[in-house]
Amino acid sequence: MISCKAFVDMLGKCKINFFTGVPDSLLKNFNAYTTDHISEKNNITAANEGNAIACAAGYYLASGKPGVVFMQNSGLGNCVNPLTSLADREVYSIPMLLIIGWRGEPGIKDEPQHIKQGRVTCGMLDNLEIPWTVLPDSAEETRGVLKTAAQYLAENQSPFALLVRKGTFEPYALQNKNETRYSLNREEAVKLVVSFLSETDVIVSTTGKTSREIYELRESLKQGHSRDFLTVGSMGHASAIALGIALQQPRRNVYCFDGDGALIMHAGGLAVIGKLQPPNFKHIVFNNFAHDSVGGQPTAADVMDIPAIAKASGYQAYFSATTEAEIKEQLEGLQNTAGPGLLEIRVNIGARPDLGRPVTTPEENKQAFMNFLRQT
């Protein structure tokens, strides 16, 4: 394994000192180290991966130096456009070092949503004509790889990618954590909201621990899982999925269980929801100001007024709550007001260490959910 400090120091010797991207579980130690040791203006958690490519391009235009863009390999889909129409050597020719967590690497057990992405990652980079190599797990080999990458960036003025396997970086615990002192954690808040739902209401939940907590709650209540669409991938798209359902099922309340990082990733969706005015759309945002599922790195939610953004986007109801009493009161307001409506629930960061994962496949989840929509 590579020391995170040693790796960042090696990058510095290659005159690479700027970092931007979206945190990933395979990169969480590296991301934690840069969060603690790199100034915020040079270590930017972007809204999405395409946004990070653009930010690194701006850094290069201003400084003349390449930056790092970090991401999970699922994020490649978010940055195909700026990689091909902005950074590519046939357009603006902008160098940057892509550091990509290789989820779903062939031969390595992983969750269903990562298998296809892991299998096609290398082919995607090849099709994008971006040279790549796997980051070694020793400091000596890494030094050579970074020297080669830096030379390529300088000579070709275009992106180069490093694929990071599980266990490449030595453990590093984030020190610069968000301090949250709310009365509930997310799992407690999820349980409270679910208790307010009727038997015909459905949930579309965002990727990560929120969906896992809903799954375990339904298991404990012996309620089955047919009322929940657990969006195990596609970060940031749960609200658009819920919108599509709400418009086609106008007599049914559709709840989107979102997170602050996911909301920020594709925040433009709020304006579309506001424009279409589905009265049965209920948007619950569990805000812990962090990318909780991949290491706890901070999001930009601490400077956002999420209810105000919902209001400005055309939502008809917009609330915020922190305590159990406030949540109950605001849920009643949300249920009794024609939507679209949004309730931000501010919760503490963190989850149970023994939190499980769904044992049903995404295909089984989809089919059960569709059958429920048709039969009720």
Nearest Cα residue to 235 out of 37, 7, 11, 24: 24
Collapse the DSSP code of 357 into the 3-class scheme (helix H, G, I; strand E, B; otherwise coil) and give the result.
coil
CATH 3.20.140.10 holds for 4-164 = no
d(C-alpha 287, C-alpha 185), whole Å: 10
Question: Do the Cβ atoms of 302 and 283 come closer than 8 Å?
Answer: no
Angle made by CA atoms 212, 246, 362, in degrees to the nearest 5: 35
Residue 177: predicted pLDDT: 74
- CA torsion angle for 107, 109, 111, 112 (degrees, to 10)? 40
Residue 226: predicted pLDDT: 95
Token reading at 45:
């958690």
Q: Is the dihedral of CA 40, 41, 46, 49 positive or negative?
A: negative
Tell me whether the CATH fold assigned to 4-164 matches the one assigned to 186-375.
Answer: yes
Nearest Cα residue to 160 out of 24, 47, 27, 11: 11
Residue 296: predicted pLDDT: 82
Numbers of helices and strands, H then E, in the chain = 14, 14
d(C-alpha 210, C-alpha 291), whole Å: 12
What strands lie across the sheet with 132-134, from one edge to the other? 43-45, 19-21, 67-72, 96-101, 160-164, 132-134
What are the residue ranges spanned by the domains of the chain?
A: 4-164, 186-375
Question: Do the Cβ atoms of 27 and 100 come closer than 8 Å?
Answer: no
Residue 35: predicted pLDDT: 94
- 186-375: which CATH number, 3.40.50.970, 3.30.70.2390, 3.40.50.300, 1.20.1440.230? 3.40.50.970
DSSP designation for 289:
S
Residue 329: predicted pLDDT: 94
Residue 297: predicted pLDDT: 87
What string of H, E and C letters represents the secondary structure of 203-231? EEECCCHHHHHHHHHHHHHCCCCCCEEEC
Residue 292: predicted pLDDT: 85
> Could you say which residues of the chain have pLDDT below 50?
none
d(C-alpha 186, C-alpha 189), whole Å: 5
- Total Cβ atoms within 10 A of residue 376: 13
Token reading at 256:
């989107």
Collapse the DSSP code of 302 into the 3-class scheme (helix H, G, I; strand E, B; otherwise coil) and give the result.
helix
